[in-house]
Amino acid sequence: MSITVPTFADVEAAAERIRPYATRTRLIESHDLNARLGARVFLKPEMFQRTGSFKFRGACNAVLQIPQARRANGVIAFSSGNHAQGVAAAAREFGLPATIVMPKDAPATKIAGTRRLGADVVFYDRRTDDREAIARDLMAKSGATLIEPFDNAKVVAGQGTAGLEIVDDMAALGMTLDTVLAPCGGGGLVTGIALAFAGRSPKTRVIGVEPERFDGMRLSLAAGARTPAPGGELSIADALMAPAPGHIPFAIAKEKLSAAVAVTDTELQRAVSYAFQRLKVVVEPGSAAGLAALLAGKVDVGGRRHIAVVLTGGNCEISTVASCVVAVTEP
């Protein structure tokens, strides 16, 4: 399979390209979290990004590079919700029609948000249907441009802009990071960030965090080849259930990603509850994966003074947050 792998230069170009449209999310720090972990932990709050997640970055970068002659045909994407909203928002920003293929069991908040942004929604069953085949069939009929959620070089470069912002914020504080943790589904975000740090802060470890049973990146790194996770019972982290890392993300991960670790649903619940009760922010379970790994001791922070955690989004049902707080009242 021939693929185009983005470079650090592509991430830098994406940052300039999307600068007028994307929100610059500034790092925040929690004294409670610092005391708990014995390190300074900086949080990248991408729930404050447009559409409530980091996905607008990659979608915007991809849409901006569609040739003018093809824009009237619109865009197509497949997503459980955050990429859907990112593509819908970017399409609306530049006047393109958008069609999104979404699972029937996607959170109602994400479906409503996608429709509110003007996109048409086509549903599929994630257990029996092939979402990529559905999207490609729609693309063949309409001539629309497909914007994949993570196996797309332009999308990965756009997600990497979050990493450049982290480096710049830390430099403004006169610091460099020992470790960065980011959630990992198909791997587009964490490998985009890994590209950014390889170019700007190569000694920083970049670690992906996945749900148990959907830890394809961890298994792939161990095997040295793309390896599907076992799957099974769905995780509460609906945004992180890609069966395996994408071809493009894994090509980057082999060279740039330090490691990947898995967290349980109980650990994700604890992180959502902790974010709500101690940090006073709403994050969806998948967004809290990096925080979950830290709180559960899945990543060794011994001797590491400066750590960043990417909180990727806050697009979830209020009932989901409530159930996590009820499940873990003392996180």
How far is residue 80's CA from residue 58's CA, in Å, rounded to a whole number?
16
Which 3 state secondary structure label does DSSP give 148?
coil
For the chain, 331 residues long, give each residue's pLDDT as a single digit of tens: 689 999 999 999 999 999 999 999 999 999 999 999 999 999 999 999 999 999 999 999 999 999 999 999 999 999 888 999 999 999 999 999 999 999 998 888 889 999 999 999 999 998 899 998 999 999 999 999 999 999 999 999 999 999 999 999 999 999 999 999 999 999 999 999 999 999 999 999 999 999 999 999 999 999 999 999 999 998 999 889 998 999 999 999 999 999 999 999 999 999 999 999 999 999 999 999 999 999 999 998 888 899 999 999 999 999 999 999 999 999 9
Structure tokens at 302: 């011994």
How far is residue 252's CA from residue 258's CA, in Å, rounded to a whole number?
11
E strand intervals along the chain: 28-29, 40-45, 75-78, 98-103, 120-124, 145-146, 179-183, 205-211, 259-263, 306-311
Contact 276, 324 (CB under 8 A): yes
Contact 117, 88 (CB under 8 A): yes
CATH of 56-150, one of 3.90.75.20, 3.50.50.60, 1.10.1370.30, 3.40.50.1100: 3.40.50.1100
Domain 8-54+154-327 has CATH 3.40.718.10: no
Intrachain domains 8-54+154-327 and 56-150 with the same fold? yes
Q: Where are the domains of the chain?
A: 8-54+154-327, 56-150
| pTM as predicted | 0.96
Contact 282, 275 (CB under 8 A): yes
Strands 75-78 and 145-146: parallel
